[in-house]
Amino acid sequence: MDINHFSEASASLKTVRDCLRFAVSRFNEAELFFGHGSGNAYDEAAYLILHTLNLPLDRLDPFLDARLTQSELYDVLDIVERRTEQRIPAAYLTNQAWLGDLSFYVDERVIVPRSFIAELLREQLAPWISDADRIGNVLDMCTGSGCLAILAAHAFPHAHIDAVDLSADALDVAQYNVTDYDMEDRISLIESDMFAKLGGKKYDLIISNPPYVDASSVAALPQEYKYEPKLALGSGADGLNATRNILEHAGEHLNDNGVLVVEIGHNRDALESAYPGLPFIWLEVSAGDEYVFMLHRNDLR
């Protein structure tokens, strides 16, 4: 934001409504990318303003005409400026990301959570898992912030979850979230290069939202994505390196009736071409049936 523009706003804006209009204008002018929680300039502006003012995130209207103190106005304009000029994802500005009704701490050590598997866990993977109480152990591969591990712990109340990541920094963030949700006795964090340190452990369910962006797409990502760890985004020329590892080893770590669920982004065609003999079951999520597959343990023999 131009310093004169910022100074003018600081002297002119008075209310939450003023700030909301100003932020939407600036975000649209800057042609920001919205792919880390909010879907458009208005929703993102409302979220950042409400969060900055410590107001309920689901109640904008009662506060629209509230006048801001000078320090509140400065804080709001500061976060608008950082989002606009530096193009930092909103989740890193607030250190908060949401999956459904649950909020998680995030910073630039982890990818901003956004997984269709979260939708499936809210339904306890029904009908593919008929009795959630029978799930005794779950593996969350490439856990990042630990969000899916925590959702799995909520979905399967009798399960212990192993949450694996190669990044020690990511596991530090996951530990914060596990502690915040009081899940230390149910979730174990394991630093490992995929399955390398799991020994002979077996699971009733393996879930994974691994890196899956192909090399050409990584090169073309908007600036906002460049704040995220490269390790958590790209996965080789075709985006399938991590998924290949999972398909190669998951069968060894599933119990007889175990199930594997993996998110693969836009790679369905490439995956089916690479593994024509595997009977992928494509699970329906809000965006369609091209992003998350399931396999039974016997399919992976």
Same domain? For 186 and 108 the reply is yes
Confidence (pTM): 0.93
Same domain? For 155 and 44 the reply is no
Interval 270-289: pLDDT, tens: 999 999 999 999 999 999 99
Same domain? For 85 and 113 the reply is no
Same domain? For 102 and 71 the reply is no
**Domain boundary residue among 39, 66, 94?**
94
Same domain? For 254 and 124 the reply is yes
Interval 112-156: pLDDT, tens: 999 999 999 999 999 999 999 999 999 999 999 999 999 999 999
Q: Kindly report the average pLDDT of the chain as a whole number.
A: 94
Kindly indicate the confidence band of residue 36, based on its pLDDT and cuts at 50, 70 and 90: confident
Range of the domain at 153: 97-300
Q: In percent, how much of the chain has pLDDT > 70?
A: 98
Same domain? For 105 and 49 the reply is no
**Into how many domains does the chain fold?**
2
Give start and end residues of each alpha helix (H) in the chain: 3-12, 16-30, 41-52, 70-81, 90-94, 117-122, 147-155, 168-180, 215-219, 241-249, 268-274
pLDDT for 214 equals 76
- Looking at residues 51-68, what average pLDDT do you find? 96
Same domain? For 148 and 206 the reply is yes
**Domain boundary residue among 94, 122, 151?**
94
Same domain? For 90 and 167 the reply is no
Count of Cβ atoms closer than 10 Å to residue 280 Cβ = 16
Same domain? For 197 and 122 the reply is yes
**260: nearest Cα among 285, 243, 239:** 243
pLDDT for 112 equals 95
Kindly indicate the confidence band of residue 1, based on its pLDDT and cuts at 50, 70 and 90: very low
Same domain? For 56 and 132 the reply is no
Question: Cα–Cα distance between 222 and 210 in angstroms, integer?
Answer: 20
Same domain? For 202 and 254 the reply is yes
Is the pLDDT score of 4 beyond 80?
no
Kindly indicate the confidence band of residue 53, based on its pLDDT and cuts at 50, 70 and 90: very high
Kindly indicate the confidence band of residue 233, based on its pLDDT and cuts at 50, 70 and 90: confident
- Looking at residues 71-99, what average pLDDT do you find? 96
Specify the 3-state DSSP secondary structure of 134. helix
Q: Read off the CATH number of the domain in which 292 is found.
A: 3.40.50.150
- Looking at residues 173-190, what average pLDDT do you find? 98
Same domain? For 114 and 153 the reply is yes
Count of Cβ atoms closer than 10 Å to residue 301 Cβ = 6
Q: Read off the CATH number of the domain in which 45 is found.
A: 1.10.8
Is the pLDDT score of 167 beyond 80?
yes
